[in-house]
Chains A and B, each alone.
Chain A
Amino acid sequence: MTPPWWFTLPALLLFAFVVLIPSGRGVYYAFTDWDGLDPDFAFIGLRNFTDMLGDEDAVQAIWHTVLIAVAITVIQNGIGLLLALGVNSMIKTRNLLRVLLFAPAVVTPIVTAYLWRNLLGPDGAVNAVLGPWGRDWLGDPGLALWMIVVVVVWQFAGYSMVIFLAGLQSIPREIYEAAAIDGTGALRRFWSIVRPLLAPAITINLMLSIIGGIKLFDQVYALTGGGPGHATDTISTLIYKDAFTLGEFGYSIALAVVLTIIVAIASAAQYTFLSRNEKAAS
């Protein structure tokens, strides 16, 4: 028996007061020229949004955001899955490995990012190890964006691994044994047993990483500050700069609205696609 709908009211009211109403009120400012300070501001309709189309920095930032989100989603989950398969096997150090691989994920992103900023500096540890092959990792606009991806993947591959691992461990041993008796190879076992039974874990991981990738802020801000120039600016860093450095709150809220729409579309599309797959697999 389902409880009556009004049981959700207390939670719903709290959610409305803390999240829905403030966000809704915030959206109004996307249609104004508010500078965050002057109570005297004007309603300017869609001008913030049309300005965005002509704003090279904004268009570039949207492109960087998409690149980062896709790269992180693919690489982080690929590595996470391989790690999960590895530590799910019977090797002796698997418990220690699980802890070590998950460890970076429990540290605050801003801390790991500052750590990497030093490691990747011209005189940092990475260049000391590479010697003559050293590069200006964060100062080269062609490399900096990918270094951000590397740092994020380094930190969160272990997180994806844990979710995959939970999925793997829910697969009954008997199925593997039956397959082994039938003489299937490892690849076939992965494709016909692991992949379909892992579908829910895949859905969760892809959703989390694409949303995290689109919203990425801390790591970019700490590693490069969006630079050199605007070479690594994402929508989130641009929102921050436009609001707090330039005082263009109206415009930056408009950018935030666009970011919200992108996240909503990307996650809805992904969810529909993956849940259809999940059903087909089960």
Chain B
Amino acid sequence: MKKSLSLALTAVLLTAACSSGTNANSGSDAENKTLTLASVDQGSVEDVIKAFEAANPGVKVTFTTSGADQYQAQIRTQLSSGTAPDVMTVWPGNGNPGATYVLAKPGYLMDLSDQPWAGQLPDAFKTVAQYEGKTYNAVFGLNGIGAVYNDEALAKSGLKAPETWTQLLKFCGDAAAKGTPAFALGIQDNWVTQLVLYALAATTVFGADRDFDAKLQSGQATFATSQWTTAMAKYQEMSSAGCFQKNPLGTSYEASQALAATGKTLGIVQGNWIIGLLKQKNPKGKFTMKALPATDDPASFLMPAAAGAGYGINAKAKNKELALRFVTFIMSPEGMKLFNEKQGSLPTLAGAGTTVDPGLSELTTFVKDNRTVPFMDQLWPNAKVQQTMLSGLQEVFSKQTTPDKVLADMDAEYQKGA
């Protein structure tokens, strides 16, 4: 506790020191030209800020970036102590400590409903950018989950990317026999555990019933008595068919990227953001994302796809005018295209002109054909449901519990509500 508290305190003190520093240095004239911002978009927001500053001469953006864990701790402390920046990363929907519902409910976010882009967002993103009918989150990027293949490794193995569930199991067996397992799995970092499950659940749960979430909310359905059991069973079946490399529980996210990038596995089940990361590790590599087969009927496949983290404005922003101008920039074709291309995400608004990585054409088609479902946790009522699933899956892999028990525990947390 002492450590984490002191970490949080240091974060507060540092930001306080930074902001008072800039205020002290800039004259009253320059004061309304400074925007403060906190973000988790390391590696992409920097370029967007540069472009924004170039488009608005004289404007200075003071910003911090950090990893999601650290950011969530920091932003809550800053919001409750009144030291939060003007613009900040906000996750869509609910279910995590920095999500739209969580921050909008106590009134920390500014209502953005009257912005032109708010009306143009497709329904799938509107629901997760809104709280009680008002828009609070400028979501600019779309991410999907699927099987990402290393084209070169696949060609070398002489195998073909599977199109059906039966083919998938055979593909895994053949790949393992050749000494290059099908998929890298790095579930030492517990958030990674959910990705294969989501990829399977999209088709098995929501393919069978697109309204499953509504039924879950109204209490007509539960995890433990639904197709979620099928998704869980298929995850285990993949594991016993040798789809993943040995010792996934000791393998970190970082290590799993290295395996897939260098062809020690034929691919990896991940979000589309992985393509950029794999290319960093293997600049010559080509990577293609496909839906992960979950049944023998390819026409029934759905892919999990959802708005990624966007930006909200602090209800007590010191510079509201500039904050709005920044958010408008993100949602403009120019800003959105820049953000998307840096992150490898797809645009949330039509007409952004984003050049999408050729490896993502299948995801683009699925989005266009409305064959996607949001990430399952985005509409769960509290953060504990997802955390129960994540540590539960690690326990399933280390044989400390059973899939049925995990689903029952998730139901119990779900029913506790917000």
Chain A residues near B (Cβ < 8 Å): 36-40, 117, 120-123, 136-141, 215, 217-218, 224-231, 236, 239-241, 243-247, 252-253, 255-256, 259
Contacts and interface: CB of A to CB of B under 8 A. Distances in A.
Contacts of A239: 1, 4
Contact of B72 (A225, A231, A244): A244
Contacts of A256: 1
Interface in B133-154: none
B316 to A, nearest CB: 13
B280 interface: no
B190 A227 contact: yes
B105 A137 contact: no
B4 A139 contact: no
B398 A246 contact: no
A141 B249 CA distance: 10
A139 B387 contact: no
Given A36-B76, A227-B190, A259 B1 contact: yes
Interface residues of B, number: 42
Contacts of B247: 122, 136, 139
A121 B250 contact: yes
B106 A225 contact: no
A39 B77 CA distance: 12
A126 to B, nearest CB: 11
B391 interface: yes
Interface string B171-202: 00000000000000000111000000000000
Interface of B: prevailing SS:
helix
Interface of A: prevailing SS:
loop
Given A244-B97, A245-B387, A246-B97, A123 B255 contact: yes
A245 B394 contact: no
B263 to A, nearest CB: 14
A252 B251 contact: no
A49 to B, nearest CB: 16
Given A37-B80, A139-B251, A228-B394, 19 more contacts: A36-B97, A37-B79, A117-B252, A136-B249, A137-B250, A139-B248, A139-B250, A139-B398, A226-B391, A227-B249, A227-B394, A228-B188, A229-B394, A231-B400, A244-B76, A245-B97, A246-B384, A247-B97, A247-B102
Contact of A139 (B8, B105, B106, B249): B249
A192 B261 CA distance: 63
Nearest to A260: B1
Contacts of B76: 36-37, 244, 247
B394 A121 contact: no
Interface string B15-27: 0000000000000
B394 A39 contact: no
B246 A122 contact: yes
Given A37-B102, A121-B251, A136-B247, A228 B1 contact: no
Contacts of B401: 229
Contact of A225 (B190, B248, B383): B190
Nearest to A124: B250
Given A121-B250, A139-B188, A229-B400, A243 B392 contact: no
A-B complex: 9 closest residue pairs judged by Cβ atoms: A139-B249, A139-B250, A229-B395, A122-B247, A136-B247, A256-B1, A228-B394, A136-B250, A244-B73
B241 to A, nearest CB: 19
A10 to B, nearest CB: 23
Interface string B319-362: 00000000000000000000000000000000000000000000
Contact of B383 (A138, A227, A229, A245): A245
